[in-house]
């Protein structure tokens, strides 16, 4: 099994732990080491230890996988830029229930997290360190750029582009061919039409 640690031990980190455990129940893949978090020390989170502070990842001498579980897209990009250790791998973590209509033309960057019951149709591009939360639907010809955060039950219709570090709140609906600029925050329940 591959060693993995989670950066961030808040709610999103605990949810990510659950996704990894779901993967392990299907096929034993990950040896979960625990959490790195700058705000907590010597504490266990859902049975796993806080290993250390984020800067300590740069001192690791063996290859391990790390997943960043930070909900604020800008903060997540700052944290990623602080990790410069060549021994760190940023895998994609995809819940076993995710449905991808055509894996030939749906692409993912690195460090992507896809939660339970997300649906991807066709011709979709997901950038690096994107987090797509539970029961969201991403339709054809959509591009979601680096560090964006898609919260639960978001629906993104066809042909749009989501910029970098975009936060889309719970249940938001993005209509056909809507482009969203970098660093935009979209409130929960918002409906954006083209």
Q: Where are the domains of the chain?
A: 2-91, 94-192
Span 127-137, average pLDDT: 98
Question: CATH classification of 94-192, choosing from 2.160.10.10, 2.70.70.10, 3.30.1330.10, 3.40.50.2300?
Answer: 2.160.10.10
What does the mean pLDDT of the chain come to? 96
Span 71-84, average pLDDT: 97
CATH number for the domain running over 2-91: 3.40.50.20
What per-residue confidence (pLDDT) applies to 39? 85
Over 80: is that where the pLDDT of 41 sits? no
Distances (CA, A) of 130 to 51, 144, 163, 186: 24, 8, 11, 16
**Separation of alpha carbons 1 and 115, rounded Å:** 21
Block residue for tokens 């060549």:
86
Q: What does the pLDDT look like over 84-118, one tens digit per residue?
A: 999 999 999 999 999 999 989 999 999 999 999 99
Over 80: is that where the pLDDT of 142 sits? yes
More confident residue, 42 or 82: 82
């Amino acid at each position: 099994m591959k060693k993995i640690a989670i950066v961030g031990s808040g709610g999103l980190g605990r949810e990510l732990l659950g996704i990894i455990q779901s993967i392990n129940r299907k096929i034993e893949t990950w040896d979960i080491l625990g959490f790195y978090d700058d705000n907590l020390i010597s504490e266990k989170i859902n049975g796993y230890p806080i290993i250390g502070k984020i800067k300590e990842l740069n001192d690791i001498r063996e290859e391990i996988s790390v997943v960043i579980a930070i909900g604020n897209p800008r903060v997540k990009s700052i944290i990623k830029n602080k990790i410069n250790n060549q021994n760190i791998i940023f895998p994609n973590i995809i819940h076993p229930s995710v449905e991808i209509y055509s894996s030939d033309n749906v692409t993912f960057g690195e460090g992507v997290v896809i939660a339970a019951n997300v649906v991807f149709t066709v011709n979709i591009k997901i950038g690096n360190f994107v987090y797509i939360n539970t029961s969201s639907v991403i339709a054809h010809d959509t591009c979601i750029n680096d560090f964006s955060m898609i919260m639960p039950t978001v629906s993104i219709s066809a042909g749009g582009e989501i910029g970098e570090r975009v936060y889309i709140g719970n249940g938001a609906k993005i209509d056909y061919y809507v482009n969203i600029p970098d660093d935009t925050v979209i409130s929960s329940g918002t409906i954006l039409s083209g």
